[in-house]
Structure 1
Amino acid sequence: MSATYHLQVVSLDGLEYEGEVQKILLRTIDGDIEILARHTNYCTAIGMGTAKVTMEDGQERKAACIGGMISVMNGEVRVLPTTWEWSENIDVERAREAKARAEEILKDKQLDNEARIRAEAKLYRALVRLGSSGQEHNINID
Structure 2
Amino acid sequence: MNTFKLQIVAPDRIIYDGEATFLLVRALSGDIGIQANHQKLVTPLTIGKMKVEFANAQPRFAAITGGFMKVGNNTVTVLTTACEWQDEIDLERAQKAAERARKDREAAKSQQEMDQAEIRLKRALNRISVAKK
The answer for the alignment partner of 1:132 in structure 2 is 130
Give the fraction of aligned pairs with identical amino acids, expressed as a percent.
37
Q: What secondary structure sits across from 2:2 in the alignment? A: coil
Structure 1 residues not aligned, in runs of 5+: 136-142
User: What's the TM-score, normalizing by structure 1?
Assistant: 0.89
Q: Name the counterpart of 1:34.
A: 33
Determine which of 109, 112, 124 is the counterpart of 2:110.
112
1:77 aligns with 2:80: no
CA deviations over 1:108-127 (Å, ceiling 9, x no partner): 3x621111001001100000
CA RMSD of aligned residues (A): 1.2
- Structure 1 distance, partners of 2:12, 2:54, is 22
Aligned to 2:81, the other structure's residue is in SS state: strand
Deviation string 1:35-94 (CA, Å, 9 cap, x unpaired) is: 001100111000111100001214110000111100011111101111110000001111
Structure 2's unaligned 5+ residue stretches are: none
> SS where residue 37 of structure 2 aligns?
coil
Preserved contact between residue 22 and residue 58 of structure 1 (Cα < 8 Å)? no
Which 10-residue stretch deviates more, 31-40 or 52-61?
52-61
The separation in 2 between residues aligned to 1:26 and 1:73, in whole angstroms, is 16
Question: What TM-score comes out, normalization by structure 2 length?
Answer: 0.95
The residue identity in structure 1 corresponding to 2:123 is R
CA distance in 1, matches of 2:40, 2:73: 6
Rounded Cα–Cα distance in structure 2 between residues aligned with 1:71 and 1:47? 14
Q: Using the alignment, how far apart are the partners of 1:4 and 1:58 within structure 2?
A: 13
3-state SS in 1 of match to 2:21: strand
Aligned length: 133
